[in-house]
Structure 1
Amino acid sequence: MSETERKENEEQKAGEEEEENLVPNPQPGEGGTPEPTPEDDREPRSDAEEVNADGPSTDVFEEAETQADLPEEAEPLREPQRKENVGNSTATVKVVLVPEGHVMTVAFAIGLSIQELKRHLASELRVPAEVLQISLDGRVVEEHQSLMELGVRPHSSTRMEMCSVDPNTHPLRPVRPPEHDNMPDVLTVRVQTGEGVFEEVVVEIERPRQQKVFLGGYKHLLTGAEYHHAAVQTLPKKRPDRGVVVFSRDTQTVELKSQIQQCAVDVSTQMTGIGCYMSCMKDKLLTPGTYITADEYHDRRLKAVIRLQSYVRRWLAQQEVNGLRRDRDNRLAWLELQEQRRKEEKEEQLRDRRQRWMNPQKREDFNLLFQALEKWRREEEQEINSTLKGAERKAALCGLLEQETTLISAIGRHHIAAQSNNFDKTVKNFLDKSAAPHQWRAGDGRLIEMDTLHTIRARELKELYNNINLSAVSQEERLQVLMTLKHTVREHRCQLTQDIVDLIDREVDLMTRGVKAASLEGLRKRISTLFLQFVKAPAFNPEAARLLKVPQNPSKLKNNMFLCRACDRYLHATNFSSTASACHSNQCRDCTGLDNIARSRNDLSCYKSILRRLRADELKINDEAKIPFLLQVEDLRYLVEVIWASRSALHGSNDLYSLVLVRWERHRDWSPWNCILLSKEETSAHLEVEDVHKAYESTFIRRVQHKHMLARRHFSQISTMSEYLDSPPPAALGNQLVSMPITMTTGKQATNSTPSSAH
């Protein structure tokens, strides 16, 4: 007989004995307290998970005995017996956790599937149900099978093995502490339901989290069954917290105890004597040294401590000096880095300015050229006026005028070339924007693009325009492009399309006659220009309507058209430069640029850089800054030139490319009456000042406040800036009253005006 069969036979015998001797007969103790039930001399089961029937707590026995031993008068209190079918019958399932060998015992309905058993065990072991694998007799069972299909009988027991598919991530460990492993979780109780009729009931034991206190009960006089109070089945009441920390007397006293210790080993010394010889080969001769008194010993220790302290203090001093030296080196390196950065920035500005002189592309570049030309002309004229007189002076001035004319013509040629290049870029940007698909951001952040019939039409016209402007093409390709263009424009009947068709027919006729491509350059240019007008017309290209500056609806032009006093033309509002002091100027941009080239020849690029940096710095400090974005270049020029005289307020530096407008009091928002003009080197030191009234002298503070008063007076006349005006500080108000001119009045008026001035 194998070991497995022998164990099963032993389990069956132990189960039969347990069913026969299940109900104990406890004897009551004195004072109504039940006495503990003595252990039976029954033979224990072979499995470690199953113990004798006396193993479970008294509550389980009480429940079984209550159902079996109640008297006849307690019959109405019984719960009605429900007739269960075979599928709802329960069985004891012992699950062995592989490879640890722990056993879990559960009561499970035999009609339920293995999948539901997995879910129950997964919740107990706190692992996913998908990683569990259950096997019976070495064979893996399917999840859809039930215990009844596997041959498990009602109220019987079965043994299964369970392992984890992924033991590294989800190992199988029992949740119950090891000290509770010697007690069973499920018991099979035999209950008498009638005369000579017994029924086996599977009872699952719920373990309390804490030990319950026995509170007494009563005992049946005939059967000897014990009934406990209901409070035994509930959690004990907690003692209310009185809010006062209470200590016992034992924790407040000290217990003294004296105990004598005796060495475990006795030590003795053997000397040479009569009848006993001790060898002296290993003896050592010790010479007594100088006797050291306690004062000498403590003095030596004190000197050693002083020496150690001196060494430590020296080490600490060296560390402090090294730290100061590192800070100094870091500071010098930072200053050197800042100086190098400023030099590189200055060199970058000079390179950029030189590049703009040599290769001007924008209107600001040509303004810079004319400003340099005007500066050179004034220097030459001043030199001529100071050194020459009479006819020589007139001749030199005439030569200077001829040189100026030559330079102006050279600048004009550069301007024409730049306009041609910029025109090609403008046309390319216009075609790209009109042919681009519509884009918007979705809710999840993705960029969505959509093509419409209008964008597809614009893309076809863009490709056709690019093919027309190709120069290095063969005659056959050119004829094919012209035929495509002819069919495209014939869809719309108007004078523009008729002119394009006539020019196409003329070029085709000349090409068939063998005319060279160089002779057809002018004709091809006319075709390209007319087709560009065709592309820009909203009637032929609907996408061009949203890119045109002048709207096609005449009703929208009524409020956005203004008269230019210089060229006497009605132009759109976009052709005028707006400032904070006025909505639109009297001259359009072209007339303003022409007047600047002919007369003043000013370059505003330095003021644009100051305004650009001011806006960037204010955005870093305050996202809701508004005043810097209301100011235009002309307003900033007035603030720098008139108010601050184009010089740094501290050291008088007049290099506009190195000047910056920053806050005067850094805790207040920037405004023309809360700013100061400083160089880039002075800005970092000024922004670290907490209180300007403590950091600067009173004379300097009054001078700055006077400039703030002038800026407030100028910008208060602007309607868009007046709403941001705040009340002036008391110091500035006093300066304003003191700086007012004194008028001659009579004695009475002078007497009345004195208190107001003092006030």
Structure 2
Amino acid sequence: MSRRSEKEEKEEVKEREKLSTVERRGAESLMEQVDKDAEETEDIAGDTAEKPPGGDREAGGDGEEPHGDKPNPDVVEEAETQADLWDDGEQQEEEEEEEPPVKADDLGNVTATVKVVLVPEGQVMTVAFAIGLSMQELKRHFSSELRVPQEVLQVSLDGRALEEQQSLMDLGARPHGSIRLEMSSTHPSDHPLRPLRPPEHDNMPDVITVRVQTGKGDFQEVVVEIERPPQQKAFLGGFRHRLTGAEYHHAATQTPPKRRPHRGVVAFSRDTQTVQDSSQSQQSPVSVSTQMTGIGCYISCVNDKLVAPGNYITADAYHSRRLRAAIRLQAWARRWLARRAVDQLRSRRDVRLAWMDMQERRRKEEKEEQLRDRQRRWMNPRSREDFNLLYHALEKWRLEEEQQINVSLRGAERKAALCSLLEQETELIATIGRHHIIAQNENYDKAIEKFLNKCAGPHQWRAANNRKIEVESEHTIRARALRDLYYDVNASSISREQRTDILTALKHTTQEHQSQLSRDLVELIDREVDLMTRGVKPTSLQGLRKRISTLFLQLIKTPAFNPEASRLLKVPQNPSQLKNNIFFCRGCHRYLTSADFNPSSGARTGGRCRDCSVTENIARHRDDFFCYRNILKELRANELKLNQDAKIPFLLQEEDVRYLVEVVWASRSALSGCDDLYQLVLVRWERLQDWSPWNCVLLSKEEASAHLEVEDVKQVYEDTFTCSVEHKHTLAVRHFHQIPAMADHLNNL
């Protein structure tokens, strides 16, 4: 084996710099051993006597492949070829020689193949290490390879844990031999052992064994570790076998290109930038320039064709034929365009009819839903609006019956019929009153539950990022405990022991606040406990339990006992605040807060409170404002879509809308005369101006959607209709100019 060149030595130095400290020691020892064997041509067959030639060409001696991959076919083929050169007869006849002892100075140079099995994955990692390497250094290497802390790695041999001071030679590793170790993690859940490079992505083992000829008939097995490039080499040319699919690269992709020597001459000159033209004349022979037989030139007529003249077509005939063809094409094209236009019109007609059917069905469904809702409110009234509807229906029925009696009867019969009508009206009012009492009880329980939930609820607000923030305080926690205790006190169908425990907890909670109310509540609790001890039936204690529940609810509403109740009480706790926002009711002659009065845009001072207004409506007028409330609600929603800064619709109240609908527009649509109040809406007259009582028109819902598409009402509607609408606007201005809230808007006209 000849000496290596200087260039090869430089490349070897570069490769050594890339290796780690442990791998560099093994590589240097291998290279020095190969150079020494080449110079001295010593026979080192004895070092490999224990390993038959070609028997273990993989990373280890137990037949396993590193990472579950197959070895490189080229390397295996080379190793088998060299193994064939070995004389099998002489190898079997030689006696096994003992391995020479390893000196202490050579421990860092002699390597061994280490197979590490990752537990419990079962994957194998094969690396060449110096036999003097300790377990601590081996852990440090695999810690960087597996990306796990060094402290969690545990190395074992045959199920026995190894110490960090032990070396591979202490474990029985021999030069150029192999050893199998197990590695596991002490924290498999946090730091599992997984190779960074999956085995299925590799086609080549990490370590191979190569036989190198060191002399005539002398061979040595060398363990070579394969270093993989960080990225795939670019394809710079070659070809691919179509049958086998093997790719062959050009030699330029395997070796660096050779740089041409500089000649010292400028490569650019004027000759390379200009073009040299040349002109040359040429005369073709006579056989090329003629098509007829002549003197000295014969032209064959074998391939000639005989052409007969056809009918002569004049210019007029040709143009007339082209004109007929153009007319025919235009006729077919116009037919196709006409059919397409008709199809489009038909599709639009179908879409329009389908939309009209859908709107008609929607209107019918809405009307049926309104009727069902009205009937449900008649049969099962719950709110104040429901009872107003009942009284309105009762008044309408009474007027019809009275009118029929006045028309059909006279004298004593008329008086008797009127008395009978009065008795029927009285019975119906009593029936409505009973329903009102039931609804009041249900609404009272719901109001108490709502009050307790508000007290126990956390404080909420919106942050800058539109997230809801909830905060619990000590007052809300106490309010929640009082709410749960109130539910337990009102619970029914519980045992006597459970009732006693609840009353005991209520007594301890009540004694925290010393007042006359708490003392009365404690006295009632002691009385019920004493009666239950004497065996009194629960039915006899219902009145007493009702009093306890009422007193406890009053105690919960006390701000000194429940601080969260102060922000929900209508009456301010500070006496200085009683002077502000207090008005006198002329009906019941009481001083009440502004929240107890109906807001009205035309009210200058406080008039009648809500209770007096409801009582007067039930006794005299019996009006139902539900339909007007729906008209006002829909008006506000539509104006918010058109203008976010709309003000006038929010200044009006139900009475103002009622005046507009009944007095100004006579409760009928301005166009069709529809008198169904549930189908009428107030929309803008001039679409580009804000809504106001002097810029509105009462229309049905279908008419309103079409009216909002009109840009100029004077061009679409007749002058008579326009004048009538403007007259109604004048009536609205005359009524609303007395309202202080509307004065500023009227001044801007």
| 1:5–1:466 distance in 2 versus 1, CA, 3 Å | farther
Match of 2:478 among 435, 457, 464: 457
| 1:290–1:367 distance in 2 versus 1, CA, 3 Å | same
Alignment partner of 2:348: what SS?
helix
Kept in 2, the 8 Å contact 1:578–1:585? The answer is no
Equivalent residue for 2:545? 524
Equivalent residue for 1:425? 446
The answer as to 2:735 corresponding to 1:714 is: yes
- The whole-number CA distance in structure 1 between the counterparts of 2:292 and 2:10 is 69
Kept in 1, the 8 Å contact 2:461–2:470? The answer is yes
Match of 1:678 among 699, 716, 726: 699
Equivalent residue for 2:493? 472
The TM-score with structure 2 as length reference comes to 0.61
- 1:691 Cα offset (Å): 0.8
The answer as to 2:355 corresponding to 1:334 is: yes
Structure 2: gaps spanning 5 or more residues: 12-204, 207-226, 235-255, 263-267, 270-281, 294-299
- The whole-number CA distance in structure 1 between the counterparts of 2:542 and 2:288 is 125
- The whole-number CA distance in structure 2 between the counterparts of 1:183 and 1:455 is 86
Match of 2:510 among 489, 501, 508: 489
- The whole-number CA distance in structure 1 between the counterparts of 2:301 and 2:540 is 138
- The whole-number CA distance in structure 1 between the counterparts of 2:420 and 2:493 is 47
The answer as to 2:626 corresponding to 1:605 is: yes
- The whole-number CA distance in structure 2 between the counterparts of 1:2 and 1:627 is 107
- 1:447 Cα offset (Å): 2.2
Tell me the amino acid that sits aligned with residue 657 of structure 1. Y
| 1:695–1:510 distance in 2 versus 1, CA, 3 Å | same
Q: Give aligned pairs, total.
A: 496
Alignment partner of 2:436: what SS?
helix
Tell me the amino acid that sits aligned with residue 497 of structure 1. S
| 1:512–1:692 distance in 2 versus 1, CA, 3 Å | same
| 1:286–1:321 distance in 2 versus 1, CA, 3 Å | same
- The whole-number CA distance in structure 1 between the counterparts of 2:723 and 2:621 is 34
- The whole-number CA distance in structure 1 between the counterparts of 2:302 and 2:710 is 91
- The whole-number CA distance in structure 1 between the counterparts of 2:517 and 2:9 is 111
Tell me the amino acid that sits aligned with residue 348 of structure 1. E
Equivalent residue for 2:397? 376
Alignment partner of 1:519: what SS?
helix
Equivalent residue for 1:723? 744
1:527-676 matches, cutoff 5 A: 527-676=548-697
- 1:10 Cα offset (Å): 12
- The whole-number CA distance in structure 1 between the counterparts of 2:402 and 2:637 is 41
The CA deviation string for residues 100-129 of structure 1, in whole angstroms up to 9 with x for no partner, is: xxxxxxxxxxxxxxxxxxxxxxxxxxxxxx
Match of 1:391 among 412, 415, 436: 412
The answer as to 2:432 corresponding to 1:411 is: yes
Equivalent residue for 2:344? 323
1:145-164 matches, cutoff 5 A: 163-164=230-231
Equivalent residue for 2:715? 694
Task: State the identity %.
Answer: 61
Tell me the amino acid that sits aligned with residue 519 of structure 1. S
Tell me the amino acid that sits aligned with residue 654 of structure 2. V
- 1:302 Cα offset (Å): 2.8
Worse-matched range after superposition: 504-513 or 284-293? 284-293
Tell me the amino acid that sits aligned with residue 699 of structure 1. T
- The whole-number CA distance in structure 2 between the counterparts of 1:2 and 1:637 is 117
The CA deviation string for residues 215-263 of structure 1, in whole angstroms up to 9 with x for no partner, is: xxxxxxxxxxxxxxxxxxxxxxxxxxxxxxxxxxxxxxxxxxxx9999x
Equivalent residue for 1:348? 369
Equivalent residue for 1:364? 385
Alignment partner of 1:662: what SS?
strand
Tell me the amino acid that sits aligned with residue 603 of structure 2. A
| 1:568–1:726 distance in 2 versus 1, CA, 3 Å | closer
Match of 1:438 among 431, 448, 459: 459
| 1:261–1:675 distance in 2 versus 1, CA, 3 Å | farther
User: CA RMSD of the aligned region, Å?
Assistant: 4.0
Kept in 2, the 8 Å contact 1:381–1:397? The answer is yes
- The whole-number CA distance in structure 1 between the counterparts of 2:305 and 2:712 is 83
Worse-matched range after superposition: 448-457 or 612-621? 448-457
1:82-93 matches, cutoff 5 A: none
Tell me the amino acid that sits aligned with residue 560 of structure 2. A
Tell me the amino acid that sits aligned with residue 613 of structure 2. T
- The whole-number CA distance in structure 2 between the counterparts of 1:438 and 1:359 is 36
- 1:586 Cα offset (Å): 1.6
Kept in 1, the 8 Å contact 2:685–2:696? The answer is yes
The CA deviation string for residues 713-733 of structure 1, in whole angstroms up to 9 with x for no partner, is: 2212111111112455xxxxx
| 1:265–1:462 distance in 2 versus 1, CA, 3 Å | farther
Kept in 2, the 8 Å contact 1:366–1:415? The answer is yes
Kept in 2, the 8 Å contact 1:578–1:584? The answer is no
Alignment partner of 1:463: what SS?
helix
| 1:564–1:260 distance in 2 versus 1, CA, 3 Å | farther
- The whole-number CA distance in structure 1 between the counterparts of 2:231 and 2:529 is 85
| 1:165–1:516 distance in 2 versus 1, CA, 3 Å | farther
- 1:296 Cα offset (Å): 3.5
Tell me the amino acid that sits aligned with residue 614 of structure 1. L
Q: Select the structure with the greater relative contact order (CA < 8 A; seq sep ≥ 6).
A: 2
- The whole-number CA distance in structure 1 between the counterparts of 2:284 and 2:460 is 94
- The whole-number CA distance in structure 2 between the counterparts of 1:260 and 1:685 is 89
- 1:607 Cα offset (Å): 0.5
| 1:361–1:165 distance in 2 versus 1, CA, 3 Å | farther
- The whole-number CA distance in structure 2 between the counterparts of 1:680 and 1:451 is 48
Kept in 2, the 8 Å contact 1:500–1:530? The answer is yes
The CA deviation string for residues 343-399 of structure 1, in whole angstroms up to 9 with x for no partner, is: 111111111111111111110100000000000000001111111111111111111
- 1:585 Cα offset (Å): 4.1
Equivalent residue for 2:165? none
Alignment partner of 2:560: what SS?
coil
Kept in 2, the 8 Å contact 1:580–1:630? The answer is yes
The CA deviation string for residues 644-669 of structure 1, in whole angstroms up to 9 with x for no partner, is: 12111112221111111111101011
Equivalent residue for 1:58? none
The CA deviation string for residues 304-352 of structure 1, in whole angstroms up to 9 with x for no partner, is: 2221221111001000111111111111111221222111111111111
| 1:324–1:498 distance in 2 versus 1, CA, 3 Å | same
- The whole-number CA distance in structure 2 between the counterparts of 1:302 and 1:2 is 96
The TM-score with structure 1 as length reference comes to 0.60
Worse-matched range after superposition: 551-560 or 360-369? 551-560
Equivalent residue for 1:30? none
Kept in 2, the 8 Å contact 1:577–1:584? The answer is no
| 1:546–1:3 distance in 2 versus 1, CA, 3 Å | farther
The CA deviation string for residues 449-479 of structure 1, in whole angstroms up to 9 with x for no partner, is: 2111111110110000000111021111111
- The whole-number CA distance in structure 1 between the counterparts of 2:689 and 2:604 is 28
| 1:266–1:360 distance in 2 versus 1, CA, 3 Å | farther
